[in-house]
């Protein structure tokens, strides 16, 4: 007997001992101790976040792995009370149907040894075969369950996959472990990701988007605030309250200098090298919260995307079309599947077809000897993002139309079509309806990609402009720099026309912070081009007489003048003295 089998046997034996201590006998009928309707309603209200994450984000990603088997997924709270179930109930004994409904308890003292109740006691995943159930009436079942933990490592529930015994034990246990880890990750991110950065790491770069990646959430000082159990396994200990710099032997700013969402290698203290990627807080990347038009657009786009209705996102250059699509992907049922972005304007016209549709080896002179699957095939089961689609050549538009109609591609040099499962989001800074009328864009393709056409508002029209300024400042500033921008600078940024939209705002803030160092950002740190566009003559005042006018207008209140100009009192004193 190997170590894992021995451990499993010990867990089952310990559970049977507990069952006898509870006064159970194998011939007893299970007591599911069901809640009243009012009690259940109150419980579901308290656990709605756990229910939503399971139903909308986890189940769609994994239950297809069970194929056509007859199974039931059960979600319970920490006490073993069922919150909801999904799947087939055909294999359930008729006299036990009530035990598989929301409100029924699966704790050991009433139902005996069972995967869900026993996993909650042991705080680890377990498979319970038919004959391993303590009560004989349960021995038609075979199931596996995993405990669920929140960001504070508190036990909040359990996830179970039950069947009539025809699913292999290893497959069921592996699946429920993966689903449990995925749900734990989502619980952590739901609590922390809006305010703090996150680091994903694993032994291989192609596993960074799997539930088995280590997940750390850390603050601006690099302090680890939350970590999943996989991180414990990879690092050899619980990293909570440790520092990123200590864990990976790397200054925090060096880590954050790597492009976000792009894999890189790190050496952990006393351990092997890991492949990593970091992501900033969601509030630093998401531009949708706080702007009603964007929130509505994101909700509408999400609903249609789930129904396989294509979405077209339009707006001026720099308004955040790519960010909007990233938010859309993150909120979709395909969040764990690839989001493949294709910049249709950046690919040379002669390479568009080979890059999009792929090619077989030897398809043409210069082709890679292994061939190329193409960007569309890489998006299989995920989302294909066609950015700047208005710049796609007309011949390629015709071929793309055929792909979207048939949902299959034919790589160059291949006679065999390949089926793809994709959702399609397109974006353009042009009005594609005008492009159709001008004959520069195919009308049939336009109707194929514009099931819903959205126009994102420019920054100058957004109601959440000041919040965005503060979010981007928090994102770009170094830990040693002032936490807030001076009020006068925020006012100036808020009033700016922003012809370059969010892209221009990000650039201006990065330049200003780089020039300011650890001092407050002042007018002298803002790019000259920005000041010229702002058309606010008073902010350019450097002559003593101009400053004296401002001082007189402020009744001698130098602090008020400094705030209005967005400079420190020390800088104002120097200017008044002609320095």
Domain match, 201 and 168 both: no
Q: Where are the beta strands (DSSP E) in 285-413?
A: 311-314, 339-343, 383-387, 408-409
Whole-angstrom Cα distance, residue 380 to residue 365? 27
- Whether residue 542 is predicted with pLDDT greater than 60 in this model: the reply is no
What pLDDT is stored for residue 400 in this prediction? 86
| Mean pLDDT along residues 136-145 | 94
3-state secondary structure 139-158: CCCEEEEEEEECCCCCEEEE
Residue after which a domain boundary falls, among 160, 191, 222: 191
Give CA–CA dist 345/362, Å, rounded.
27
Q: Are strands 423-428 and 418-419 parallel, antiparallel or unpaired?
A: unpaired
Number of domains in the chain: 4
Least confident among 213-217, 311-315, 369-373, 529-533 = 369-373
Burial (CB < 10 A; 0-12, 13-18, 19+), residue 222, is buried
Q: Which residue has the higher pLDDT, 291 or 430?
A: 430
Residues 187, 199 within the same domain: no
Q: What is the mean pLDDT of the chain?
A: 84
CB-CB neighbours of 574 under 10 Å: 12
* pLDDT value of residue 418: 84
Query: Which residue, 242, 259, 280, sits at the end of a domain?
Result: 280
Q: What is the band of 28 on the pLDDT scale with cuts at 50, 70, 90?
A: very high
pLDDT on residue 564: 67
| CATH value at residue 538 | 1.10.8.60
The percent of residues above 70 in pLDDT, for the chain, comes to 88
Residue 544 has pLDDT above 50, yes or no: no
Name 100's Cβ contacts closer than 8 Å, sequence gap at least 6: 72, 74, 82, 85, 89, 92
Q: What is the domain range of residue 310? A: 288-457
pLDDT, mean of residues 310-315? 94
Does residue 449 sit in the same domain as residue 348?
A: yes
Q: Are residues 232 and 185 part of one domain?
A: no
Q: Categorize the per-residue pLDDT at 553 as very low, low, confident or very high, splitting at 50, 70 and 90.
A: low
Other beta carbons within 10 Å of 529? 12
Cα–Cα distance, 67 to 50 (Å, whole number) = 25
Return the pLDDT at 75. Answer: 97
Average pLDDT over residues 89-94: 88
What pLDDT, on the 0 to 100 scale, is given for residue 358?
80
The residue among 392 and 574 whose pLDDT is bigger is 392
Which long-range contacts (C-beta less than 8 Å, at least 24 apart) are formed by 267-270? 268/234, 268/235, 270/236
Helices and strands (H, E) in the chain, number of each type = 25, 17
- Whether residue 403 sits in one domain with residue 381: yes
Please tell me whether residues 42 and 183 are part of one structural domain. Answer: yes
pLDDT value for 370: 56
* 260: pLDDT strictly greater than 50: yes
The answer to whether the CB of 19 falls within 8 A of the CB of 134 is: yes
Higher pLDDT, 352 or 395: 395
**Lowest-pLDDT range, 14-23, 335-344, 360-369?**
360-369
Instruction: Mark whether 442 and 344 lie in a shared domain.
Output: yes
What is the C-alpha separation between 88 and 109, in angstroms, rounded? 26
Parallel, antiparallel, or unpaired: how do β-strands 339-343 and 383-387 relate?
parallel
Same domain, 276 and 425: no
Q: Which residue has the higher pLDDT, 62 or 462?
A: 462
The arithmetic mean of pLDDT across residues 65-80, rounded, is 85
Q: Are 19 and 113 in contact (CB under 8 A)?
A: yes
Tokens 């299989």 locate to: 380
Residue 273, H or E segment:
strand 273-279
Residues 10 and 112 in one domain: yes
pLDDT of residue 270: 67
How far out from the chain centre does Cα 111 lie? Answer: 38
Query: Six-digit token pair at 440?
Result: 């520069």
What's the CA angle centered on 270, arms 264 and 274, to 5 degrees? Answer: 20
Tokens 């129904």 belong to residue: 307
Rounded mean pLDDT of 329-334? 84
pTM: 0.54
Highest mean pLDDT out of 280-289, 399-408, 421-430, 547-556:
421-430
The answer, yes or no, to whether residue 541 has pLDDT greater than 60, is no
Predicted confidence (pLDDT) at residue 536 exceeds the cutoff of 70: no
Residue 217 confidence (pLDDT)? 94
| Angle, CA 555 vertex, CA 549 and CA 560 arms, to 5° | 85
CATH of the domain at 348: 3.40.50.300
Is residue 76 within 8 Å of residue 106, measured between CB atoms? yes
Q: In sequence order, what are the beta bridge partners of 127?
A: 144
User: What mean pLDDT is predicted for residues 405-420?
Assistant: 80
- pLDDT surpasses 80 at 160: yes
Choose one of 258, 280, 302: the last residue of a domain: 280
Res. 261 pLDDT band, cuts 50 70 90: low
Interval 356-385: pLDDT, tens:
888 766 444 444 445 678 888 888 889 999
| 528 and 560 both lie in a single domain | yes
In this prediction, residue 509 carries a pLDDT of 93
Q: Are 359 and 412 in contact (CB under 8 A)?
A: yes
**How confident is the model at residue 311, as a pLDDT?**
95
pLDDT at 538: 42
Cα-based distances in Å from 561 to 116, 265, 520, 539, 555: 66, 49, 15, 11, 10
Convert the pLDDT of each residue in 419-470 to its tens digit: 889 999 999 999 999 999 999 999 999 999 999 999 999 999 998 899 889 8
Residue-level pLDDT at 361: 62
Q: CA-to-CA distance for 182 and 470, rounded, in angstroms?
A: 32
pLDDT at 299 over 80: yes
- Distance (Å, whole) CA 201 – CA 235: 10
Asked if residue 178 and residue 54 are part of one domain, the reply reads yes
515/505 Cα distance (integer angstroms): 16
Closest by CA to 157, choosing from 200, 205, 102, 227, is 102
Average pLDDT over residues 204-233: 88
pLDDT (mean) for 486-502: 89
Residues 6+ apart with CB under 8 A from 266: 201, 248, 250, 255, 273, 274, 276
**What percentage of the chain reaches a pLDDT higher than 90?**
40
Cα first-last separation, the chain: 84
User: Following DSSP, what letter does each residue of 214-258 receive, concatenated?
Assistant: EEEEE-TT-BEEEE-HHHHHHHTS--TT-BHHHHHTS-HHHHHHS
What CATH number is given to the structural domain containing 225? 3.30.450
Taking the CA atoms of 466, 471, 477 and 480 in sequence, report the sign of the dihedral they define.
positive
Note whether 158 and 115 are same-domain residues.
yes
The span from the CA of 469 to the CA of 549, in Å, is: 30
């Amino acid at each position: 007997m190997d170590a894992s089998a021995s451990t499993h046997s010990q867990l089952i034996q310990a559970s049977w001992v507990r069952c006898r201590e509870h006064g159970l006998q194998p011939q007893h009928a299970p007591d599911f101790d069901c809640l009243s309707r009012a009690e259940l309603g109150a419980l579901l209200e308290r656990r709605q976040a756990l229910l939503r994450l399971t139903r909308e984000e986890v189940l769609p990603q994994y239950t297809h792995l069970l194929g056509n088997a007859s199974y039931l997924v059960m979600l319970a709270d920490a006490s073993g009370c069922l919150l909801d179930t999904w799947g087939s109930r055909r294999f359930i004994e008729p006299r036990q149907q009530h035990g598989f409904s929301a409100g029924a308890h699966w704790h050991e003292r009433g139902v005996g040894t069972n995967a869900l109740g026993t996993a909650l006691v042991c705080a680890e995943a377990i498979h319970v075969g038919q004959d391993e159930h303590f009560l004989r009436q349960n021995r038609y079942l075979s199931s596996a369950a995993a405990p669920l933990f929140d960001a504070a490592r508190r036990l909040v529930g359990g996830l179970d996959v039950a069947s009539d015994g025809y699913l292999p034990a290893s497959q069921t246990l592996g699946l429920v472990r993966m689903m449990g880890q995925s749900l734990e990750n989502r619980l952590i991110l739901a609590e922390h990701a809006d305010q703090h950065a996150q680091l994903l790491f694993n032994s291989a770069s192609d596993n960074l988007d799997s539930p088995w990646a280590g997940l750390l959430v850390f603050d601006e000082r690099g302090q680890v605030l939350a970590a999943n159990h996989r991180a414990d396994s990879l690092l050899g200990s619980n990293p909570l309250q440790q520092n990123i710099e200590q864990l990976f032997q790397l200054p925090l700013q060096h880590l954050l200098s790597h492009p976000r969402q792009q894999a890189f290698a790190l050496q952990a203290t006393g351990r092997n090298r890991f492949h990593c990627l970091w992501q900033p807080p969601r509030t630093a990347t998401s531009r949708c919260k706080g702007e009603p038009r964007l929130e509505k657009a994101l909700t509408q786009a999400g609903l249609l995307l789930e129904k396989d209705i294509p979405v077209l996102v339009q707006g001026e250059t720099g308004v955040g079309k790519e960010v909007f699509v990233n938010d859309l992907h993150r909120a979709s049922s395909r969040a764990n599947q690839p989001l493949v972005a294709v910049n249709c304007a950046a690919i040379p016209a002669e390479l568009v077809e080979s890059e999009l549709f792929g090619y077989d080896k030897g398809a043409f002179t210069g082709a890679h000897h292994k061939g190329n699957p193409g960007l569309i095939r890489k998006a299989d089961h995920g989302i294909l993002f066609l950015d700047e689609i208005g710049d796609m050549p007309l011949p390629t538009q015709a071929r793309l139309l055929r792909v979207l109609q048939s949902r299959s591609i034919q790589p160059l040099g291949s006679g065999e079509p390949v089926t793809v499962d994709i959702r399609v989001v397109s974006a353009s800074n042009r009005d594609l309806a005008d492009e159709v009328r001008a004959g520069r864009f195919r009308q049939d393709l336009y109707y194929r990609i514009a099931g819903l056409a959205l126009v994102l508002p420019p920054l100058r029209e957004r109601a959440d402009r000041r919040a965005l300024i503060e979010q981007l400042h928090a994102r770009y500033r170094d830990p040693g720099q002032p936490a807030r921008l001076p009020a006068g600078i925020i006012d100036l940024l808020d009033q700016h026309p922003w012809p370059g939209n969010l892209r221009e705002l990000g650039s201006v803030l990065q330049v200003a912070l780089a020039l300011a160092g650890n001092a407050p950002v002042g007018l002298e740190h803002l790019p000259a081009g920005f000041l010229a566009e702002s058309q606010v003559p008073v902010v350019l005042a450097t002559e003593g007489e101009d400053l004296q006018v401002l001082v007189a207008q402020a009744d001698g209140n130098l602090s008020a003048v400094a705030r209005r100009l967005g400079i420190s009192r020390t800088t104002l004193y120097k200017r008044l003295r002609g320095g």
